[in-house]
Structure 1
């Protein structure tokens, strides 16, 4: 699974959202930060981020995490990442207590 395709879809649609002037990603020390320039309120921006990240992840085993970082006038910065959940996806044959075969 190529996360670049998911990031491209996410940023493209976030930029097309009404009320958002500009949205882009900067990577700092391997951590992605979303910069959103908008006249919308913080709550509306966070709703848009959640909406488009959910649509970008649809049909894939991914999760997202968004944390507000800072605000300067009409520029909002969020730490946002897509990640694969840390859970077993197959039986390794070691009779583990949390084996996927035992889940219902």
Structure 2
């Protein structure tokens, strides 16, 4: 699984959303930023659209997404958005750890 493939699918899904004019992502200082131009003016609607597309892009993968609002100006929105692997054990190492995956 390559995270760049997830990003490409995510941006493609965002571009197909109704009301979306432009969607792109750029890395600045190693941090991925999401630049959206949309006709929607409500921040909650835009964030819901982002999370819906992120969930569809991550479907079947063991990933999480984090989105943080940065700024908006008229119809352009900027978010810090990242996909990451959860920090939890995903296999049993056989050392009888207290947080073993077998105990879930």
One fold, TM greater than 0.5?
yes
Instruction: Report the count of equivalent residues.
Output: 103
- Can you list the C-alpha shifts for 1:39-82, whole angstroms capped at 9, x where unaligned? 20222211110110000011111110111011112110001111
Q: TM-score, normalised by structure 1?
A: 0.93
After TM superposition, give the deviation of residue 14 of structure 1 in Å: 0.4
Residue in 2 that maps onto 1:79: 80
How many Å separate the matches in 2 of 1:52 and 1:89? Answer: 25
TM-score w.r.t. length of structure 2: 0.93
Q: 1 CA distance for matches of 2:36 and 2:80?
A: 11
Runs (4+) of structure 1 exceeding 2 A deviation are none
> Equivalents in 1 of 2:103, 2:79: separation in Å?
38
List gaps (5 residues or longer) in structure 1.
none
